[in-house]
Structure 1
Amino acid sequence: MSEKKIDIKKAIQSKYKGYLPGFLYRWIQRLIHEDELNQMMELQHEVGGVAMGQKIIDYLGITCEIIGAERLPKPEERTLFVSNHPLGGADGVIYAALLGAHYEGQLRIMVNDVLMNVYQFQDIFLPINKYGQQARQSIQLINQALESHLQLLTFPAGLCSRMNKEGQVRDTEWLPSFVRMAVQHQRQIVPLYFEGQNSPRFYRWAKLRARSGWKFNAELILLPSELIRAKGKHYRIYVGDPIPYPTLPSPKEAPAFAQHLRDSLYSYPQKYSQL
């Protein structure tokens, strides 16, 4: 059987139906370090997402810690974790390794369906697809997971964090659908704050793309190389207090609740480091 590899051309074509010339694909392949990423993938062979996450962390020399691990729910407590999304790739890998191991593989993470091209994570990642038949399949898989006794994690912003006018790395607006999910499926919400950020280059690209009015999310092309740039870094994850589902707001109040919860995450380092 031939080795499965990351094919950025195939991944782009699955999301962007417009024409891109061949030289642009080749430039993107160099930009994202496609060869290096595939070398890393080949070292791992046919492993699952939890093991793959830990192998990538070890390969890159990443260290990480969970602040407030004692507040993590017990496996029998059905939970919907919600987190900011500062890195857009490495944070998902680290969550797969750390939380996936903590819950002995009984964790599923909702991610952009492009990440499903990393085949080793297909047992732990749930694809979010917004279009056509794949969207219906995605919704079905997510609902099945919500109805199960698995633990789930979602990034309500959808996109990874951007830099605001004040120079702060912050999530974009949180979609309030996670509130409905928690209420409908009787899951407590546990907020997580992932402390970290991408390179200045990523945020420059994001600003330039936004100013140009180009709808294609060009800065996402950099996310694989941002994973490589995470070599040797240390990350902290802060666990917030659980929010029981009976206390969650009505659908009308959910958007304001979602933004308030998002904003509160950025106080977690000060709040929980003192405990």
Structure 2
Amino acid sequence: MKEKLVSIDEIRNVHPVFRGRFGNILIKIAMSLTGLNKVNRIYDTSKQYEGVEFCNHLLKDVGVNIVVENSEILNQFEGQAFITVSNHAYGHIDGITAIDVVGSIRPDYKMMVNFILGMIDTMSMHFIAVNPYQSGKLANKSSLDGVKQCISHIKGGHPLGFFPAGAVSKTKIRKGKMIVRDREWQPSVIKLIKGSKVPVVPMYFSGKNSWFFNFLDLVDWRLRSLRLGHEVYNKKGKTMRVIFGEPIMPDEIAKHTDLEELGNFLKDKTYALAKDGE
């Protein structure tokens, strides 16, 4: 258990400007702008717990209401491997919710997540973390290690979760309306899913982040990324529905020989679980 999720020393190591004359002032500004101060506070209140218990306590502390539908679908795979695929509506809170919901049914459930969510050590037993921000050999090694862990986990008869978009849902303007939806589901993840030859269960998360966060995506995705910490803290009183769809069996997946077509098929199956107006 870490004292702080993101410490001042870790921020100092990010860039020399944080180690200069005005480093401490700049760190305080950075913590406030990115919402890391709020994220640290949330972590502090729940860090005495681990795994599903940590997720459950954190979600209650944040104040988000979770409504789960059709989770009994997972009961048919007791002691067996399966894969969940989900839209990435929120960026962090959906990953924590997935582990809370599926992990309460299958304690051996893991998710492939980016290294930022992977920093939460109290959830590490449910993570396979990769770093998409590395480049060159480091990126290849991180991805390869992640794929090896995923294959090993599934072969061991354990369930695994993916956000195949690999990033929080994107914002587009269509007919004068702001539409928030996943980008193309990544071929590398779809290839892994196809090769696993286990049932795939769509898991849809309702809702989206704040309008300001999604608006920033139309300006610059980097500005939006700076606001991601705030999007954990501002969910108080909001309801998120987690809906499970019917399993897609390996023989059905095998019929889709093209990875892009299979990705679109799984993505459409997931978004089909949305209610009208979502």
TM-score (norm 2): 0.83
Which digits, 9 at most, give the CA deviation of each residue in 1:115-167, with x for residues without a partner? 12221111111102344144443333223222222211100000111222121
CA contact (8 A) 1:11 1:114 kept: no
Query: Cα offset for 1:34?
Result: 2.6
Please say if 1:89 is aligned against 2:100.
no
CA contact (8 A) 1:113 1:127 kept: yes
The range that moved more, 132-141 or 196-205, is 132-141
Pairwise mapping of residues 94-105 of structure 1 onto structure 2 (< 5 A)?
A: 94-103=97-106, 105=107
The one-letter code matched in structure 2 to 1:230 is: K
Please say if 1:141 is aligned against 2:152.
no
Which digits, 9 at most, give the CA deviation of each residue in 1:8-51, with x for residues without a partner? 8837967xxx7766465433310233333223222223422211
Distance change (3 Å), C-alpha of 1:24 and 1:136: farther
The range that moved more, 67-76 or 57-66, is 67-76
Count of aligned pairs: 261
In structure 2, the partner of 1:213 is: none
Please say if 1:224 is aligned against 2:235.
no
In structure 2, the partner of 1:260 is: 265
CA contact (8 A) 1:8 1:29 kept: no
CA contact (8 A) 2:35 2:230 kept: yes
Question: Is there any run of 5+ residues in structure 1 with no aligned partner, and where?
Answer: 211-216
Quick one: distance in 1 between partners of 2:101 and 2:44? 22
Distance change (3 Å), C-alpha of 1:248 and 1:267: closer
Quick one: distance in 2 between partners of 1:137 and 1:177? 13
Distance change (3 Å), C-alpha of 1:183 and 1:203: closer
Quick one: distance in 1 between partners of 2:205 and 2:193? 21
In structure 1, the partner of 2:53 is: 51
The one-letter code matched in structure 2 to 1:187 is: V
Distance change (3 Å), C-alpha of 1:20 and 1:126: farther
Distance change (3 Å), C-alpha of 1:233 and 1:202: same
The one-letter code matched in structure 1 to 2:163 is: F
* SS at structure 2 position matched to 1:88: coil
The one-letter code matched in structure 1 to 2:261 is: A
Quick one: distance in 1 between partners of 2:12 and 2:173? 30
The one-letter code matched in structure 2 to 1:254 is: L
CA contact (8 A) 1:78 1:149 kept: yes
Distance change (3 Å), C-alpha of 1:204 and 1:11: farther
Quick one: distance in 2 between partners of 1:2 and 1:91? 22
Q: 1:184 aligns with which of 186, 195, 201?
A: 195
CA contact (8 A) 2:33 2:227 kept: yes
In structure 1, the partner of 2:163 is: 155
TM-score (norm 1): 0.84
Quick one: distance in 2 between partners of 1:226 and 1:68? 27
The one-letter code matched in structure 2 to 1:117 is: M
* SS at structure 2 position matched to 1:158: coil
In structure 2, the partner of 1:5 is: 5
Distance change (3 Å), C-alpha of 1:9 and 1:94: farther
Across the aligned residues of Structure 1 and Structure 2, the Cα RMSD in angstroms comes to 2.7
Q: 2:209 aligns with which of 193, 198, 207?
A: 198
Quick one: distance in 2 between partners of 1:134 and 1:253? 26
The one-letter code matched in structure 1 to 2:104 is: A
| Identity within the alignment, % | 23
In structure 2, the partner of 1:248 is: 253
